[in-house]
Amino acid sequence: MLNERISSGYLAAAGALGARPGVRRLVWPDERDALSPRLLTMDLAAFKADIDAAAEECFGPLGLVVTYDGLDEVADAVAALPGQLTASLHAEPEEAGGLAALAAVLAGRSGRVLWNQWPTGVSVTHAMQHGGPYPATTAPSTTSVGTAAIERFLRPVAYQGWPQDLLPPPLRDDNPWKVPQAVR
């Protein structure tokens, strides 16, 4: 864990979810391994009845497996979830035809949708796209991570006719890194 606050937040969130009605603890370490991974399960009816608590974000190694009888029930439950950075859909190739409705719901809830893959970590690279609907990001038209993420925080300002000493240093004529006017 990155720090004590994140560690204690993980333990609190995992403990709260693990104590919810309908949740079974499949993998639950003892106190000596407090920050070890945890795996929980619940059926779809219990999940839908307690969707706000079940969908609460937990930063740390926690998994919740939701079991169901019919695939037709799953898309409605997923549509009730808040936006996410990523979503993974795992299935056999011959099952793809029956997953169109669920795939469409996942694409509407996530910034990156993966087929038979787990999401990678994030990095600041040109190829990284990691965004999605709120709360995954507050700017769904941009990425949350990667070099294009600067667009989320960029607010262009044009300075017209300003004296040099009032301009921000990067825009002043004496800035050695400034692009010469003839090139602009």
pLDDT at 38: 94
- Structural domain boundaries, residue 35: 1-67
Q: Kindly state whether residue 36 falls inside one of the protein's structural domains.
A: yes
Looking at the structure of the chain, the number of domains it has is 1
Q: How far lies 131's CA from each of 38, 66, 109, 116, 146, in Å? A: 26, 24, 10, 19, 10
pLDDT at 34: 78
pLDDT at 13: 94
Element (H, E) at 26: strand 24-27
Cis peptide before 135 (omega within 30 of 0): yes
Q: Kindly state whether residue 29 falls inside one of the protein's structural domains.
A: yes
Mean pLDDT, consecutive 10-residue stretches, the chain (184 aa), reads 83 94 93 85 95 88 93 90 85 88 88 83 64 59 65 72 81 78 58
